[in-house]
Amino acid sequence: MSVPAGLQGINVAVLAGGLGTRVAGILGETPKVLAPVGGRTFLDHLLDHLAHLGAGRVILCLGHLADAVIEHLQAHPAPLPLQWVVESEPLGTAGALALARPLFDSDPVLVVNGDTWLAADFAAFLVRHHSQPVAATLLCVPVPDIARYGAVEIDDQGHVLAFSEKGGNGPGWINGGAMLLSKTILDGLPGRGSLERDVLAVLPPGQLGGFAADGAKFIDIGTPETLRLADTVVGQA
């Protein structure tokens, strides 16, 4: 699948401050975003991908092992404008974005997980977000087993009806680790907490959109198993 440039100069926030406990036995003191994949760091692949998609600027939300990430970036210049913020203590995904809020100058802002590879039609994703009066839109992908992720239920009008907790099984749609957040969401972020649980899940009905990206290439590198498989997916558009 050829992925068209589609981010039209918008800001991209990369959430990359997590502890990475599930892959610590493999990576040691290497932060997850610097995991080696196909002879390069995962971050290098991700930044090239965002540049190809037409992103205007990347803001890295860093925390655990931030110094290693900054050192890497200083030695390997990014292919697009890049800034970072560093948490002095774990704030959660909502808190990390609140810390970075002064750096955002686009509406919406794309938020992506720093451990997730996602190749999809981002142009159509952005069109969907703008076509509905919603505060946020999730890019959802189909997986053969939702057990690790929890499911997302989307209605025929493209609205997210519910998030299911982890523990189910079988095929379904999940949050693919990318979301478009409008200025109204960004301006009201709490100083700490979970973006999904404390912000998106409590939006009024009809305010959270869902874009079903059937055919997207998706993998996260959050477990030893998926990290080992990453070089078969990462870098493919």
User: 5 or 181: whose pLDDT is higher?
Assistant: 181
Q: How would residue 237 be classed by pLDDT, with cut points 50, 70 and 90?
A: low
Q: What total of structural domains would you count in the chain?
A: 1
Q: Indicate whether 235 pLDDT > 60.
A: yes
Query: What is the structure's pLDDT at 23?
Result: 81
Q: 3-12, 59-68, 168-177, 205-214: lowest mean pLDDT where? A: 3-12
Mean pLDDT estimate for the chain: 92
Q: 156-170, 179-193, 206-220: lowest mean pLDDT where? A: 156-170
pLDDT above 70 covers a percentage of the chain that reads 95
How confident is the model over 44-100, as pLDDT tens digits?
Answer: 999 999 999 999 999 999 999 999 999 999 999 999 999 999 999 999 999 999 999
Query: What is the structure's pLDDT at 4?
Result: 47
Evaluate whether residue 218 is within a structural domain.
Answer: yes
Evaluate whether residue 71 is within a structural domain.
Answer: yes
Q: 19-33, 171-185, 195-209: lowest mean pLDDT where? A: 19-33
Evaluate whether residue 5 is within a structural domain.
Answer: no
Query: What is the structure's pLDDT at 1?
Result: 38
Query: What is the structure's pLDDT at 26?
Result: 80
Q: Indicate whether 2 pLDDT > 60.
A: no
Evaluate whether residue 40 is within a structural domain.
Answer: yes
User: What is the rounded average pLDDT of the residues 193-209?
Assistant: 94
What residues make up the domain containing 206? Answer: 11-232
Q: How would residue 199 be classed by pLDDT, with cut points 50, 70 and 90?
A: very high
Which residue, among 227, 177, 194, has the nearest Cα to 33 in the 3D structure?
227
* Rounded Cα distance, 49 and 46, in Å: 5
Torsion angle of C-alpha atoms 102, 92, 79, 27, degrees rounded to 10:
150
User: What is the rounded average pLDDT of the residues 139-157?
Assistant: 90
E strands, 63-155, are 82-86, 109-113, 116-119, 136-143, 152-154
| Cα–Cα distance list, 223 to 113, 121, 167 (Å) | 14, 26, 17
Tell me the whole-structure pTM to 2 decimals.
0.93
Evaluate whether residue 212 is within a structural domain.
Answer: yes
Query: What is the structure's pLDDT at 165?
Result: 67
Evaluate whether residue 155 is within a structural domain.
Answer: yes
- The edge-to-edge listing of strands for the beta sheet with 136-143 is 82-86, 57-62, 11-16, 109-113, 172-181, 136-143, 208-212
Evaluate whether residue 127 is within a structural domain.
Answer: yes
Evaluate whether residue 168 is within a structural domain.
Answer: yes
How confident is the model over 164-184, as pLDDT tens digits?
Answer: 766 678 899 999 999 999 999
Q: How would residue 5 be classed by pLDDT, with cut points 50, 70 and 90?
A: low
Query: What is the structure's pLDDT at 20?
Result: 65
Q: Is 47 left (phi over 0), alpha (psi -120 to 50) or beta?
A: alpha
* Rounded Cα distance, 10 and 58, in Å: 9
Return the CATH number at 209.
3.90.550.10
